[in-house]
Amino acid sequence: MELQLTRIWDSFIDPLQQDSRILDLATGNGTVARICAARARHKNIRICIDAVDAAAIDPPRYTPDPEGLFQDIRFYAGVQLESLPFEDEVFDGIVSQFGFEYAGDPRATSETVRVLAPRGRIRLVVHSRGGAVSRDIGRRLQRLRIVLADNGILSLILRLARAAEIGDGETLRCESANLSPAMEQVHQLSVQVPPDDSALFYAREFLQVWHLKERYRPSELRRSLELGWQNARGVAMRQEQMLKVARSREEMHSFQDQFTTAGLEGAQFTEIKDHRKGYQIAWLLDARKPDTGRNR
């Protein structure tokens, strides 16, 4: 899938002229911005990339960059797509991968069109409801919900830690009896595990911490497990949001119409498919801004 998505962005960069400006919306850790920078460097095309995100991002600080691609990218944290900090018609290309659909406000569309230059192109990769990515996220979320449930291993161990801190022996005895069924759930989750599975990671971490509980002060043990529970819940909430913003075919028609109404032409969406396995990965939306006679 990563190779196929990379090719999508490579083909977007290839027609660009020298000194083109690109805007990456909802950049996250800068994946698409780096792909674009790498392709431009490979094709000897000078481009300037601006990358924005609503979160407090800082990819150069946290993301390895052995090829030095970040020097071609300017990152802006805390930027809402509904209010872009750029002048009108300054970008020759605007891209976004699994990000633009999170902006539910129609102003995000009008802002995107506002900063796009005449003859400029926009390309969005959008979560597909029922696509392979959404199915994978749904499976991961289901697994997380199991360990986060009241009878799940994370919630159970957290209750044990809280009881231990205040010396609640009755709760300790009662909840300890539930450890075996919860551990059996973890054993079942160990079968056919998806890569980088959060549910199994947090389950094993909680079990390890509880096994070594004598090394901690009761308050430290409880705080550590509360933080872990909150982190696991945060992952689940992000996955829930991903599934919520995924678009059906009917919703993509409306999405396409938004850009047409906002002044773009040629807006169309297609399926991104894994041609080897035959399933849909995501949606691809392309559009361009009409030429108003401005010289580039």
Tens digit of pLDDT for each residue in 73-109? Answer: 999 999 999 999 999 999 999 999 999 999 877 899 9
Where does residue 69 rank: exposed (0-12), middle (13-18), buried (19+ CB within 10 A)?
buried
Torsion angle, CA of 274/275/276/281, rounded to 10 degrees? 10
Over 70: is that where the pLDDT of 3 sits? yes
**Bridge partner list, 123:** 95, 286
Summarised one tens digit per residue, pLDDT across range 110-123 is 999 999 999 999 99
Q: What is the pLDDT of residue 275?
A: 77
**Would you tell me which CATH number, out of the four given (3.40.50.150, 3.40.50.2000, 3.40.140.10, 3.40.50.880), belongs to the domain 2-128+246-288?**
3.40.50.150
Q: What is the pLDDT of residue 294?
A: 53
Q: How far is CA 141 from CA 33, 144, 200, 241, 273, in A?
A: 28, 5, 12, 11, 23
Summarised one tens digit per residue, pLDDT across range 226-278 is 999 999 999 999 999 999 999 999 999 999 999 999 999 999 999 999 877 77
Q: 10 Å Cβ neighbour count for 279? A: 13
Query: What gap in Å lies between CA 212 and CA 96, rounded to an integer?
Result: 44
Whether the CB-CB separation of 108 and 77 falls below 8 Å is answered with no
Report the mean per-residue pLDDT for the chain: 94
Residue type, 295: N
- For residue 133, name the pLDDT band (cuts at 50, 70, 90): confident
Q: How far is CA 293 from CA 21, 115, 244, 251, in A?
A: 19, 16, 41, 33
What is the pTM (predicted TM-score) of this model?
Answer: 0.84
Provide the 8-state DSSP code for 28: T
Whether the CB-CB separation of 283 and 254 falls below 8 Å is answered with no
User: What is the percent of the chain where pLDDT is above 90?
Assistant: 86
Over 70: is that where the pLDDT of 295 sits? no
End-to-end CA distance of the chain: 35
Q: What is the pLDDT of residue 197?
A: 96
Using the Cα atoms of residue 52, residue 57, residue 61 and residue 62 in order, give the sign of their dihedral. negative
Stretch 8-17: mean pLDDT: 97
Q: What ranges do the domains of the chain cover?
A: 2-128+246-288, 133-243
